[in-house]
Amino acid sequence: MCKSALTKFTLIVIGAAILLPAAAEEVITRVPIWELKSDSATIYLAGSVHLLREQDLPIPAAFDEVYALSERVVFELDMEDMMNPATAMAVRRQGMLPEGESLSDHFDEETIKAIKSYAGEMGLPVAILEQMKPGALFITLTSMAATRHGARPDLGIESQYFQKAQKDNKPTSGLETMAFQMGIFHRISIKTLTRMIHEMIEKQDESAKALDDVVAAWKSGDPKQIEEIIVSELAEEEEVKKLLLDDRNRSWIPSIEQALSGDENVLFIVGAAHLAGEGSVIDLLGKKGYTAKQLSIIPRLP
Structure confidence by residue, pLDDT tens digits, 119-168: 888 888 888 899 999 999 988 888 888 888 898 989 999 999 999 999 99
Rounded CA-CA distance 220/86 in Å is: 38
Structure confidence by residue, pLDDT tens digits, 263-300: 999 999 999 999 999 999 999 999 999 999 999 875 44
Amino acid letter, 71? E
Whole-number pLDDT of residue 235: 67
- Which among 72, 50, 46 has a CA at the least distance from the CA of 60? 46
Structure-derived torsion over alpha carbons of residues 80, 86, 89, 95, reported in degrees to the nearest 10: -60
User: How many other CB atoms are found less than 10 A from the CB of residue 11?
Assistant: 9
What are the domain boundaries of the chain? Answer: 9-299
Amino acid letter, 188? I
pTM of the predicted model as reported, rounded to 2 decimal places: 0.87
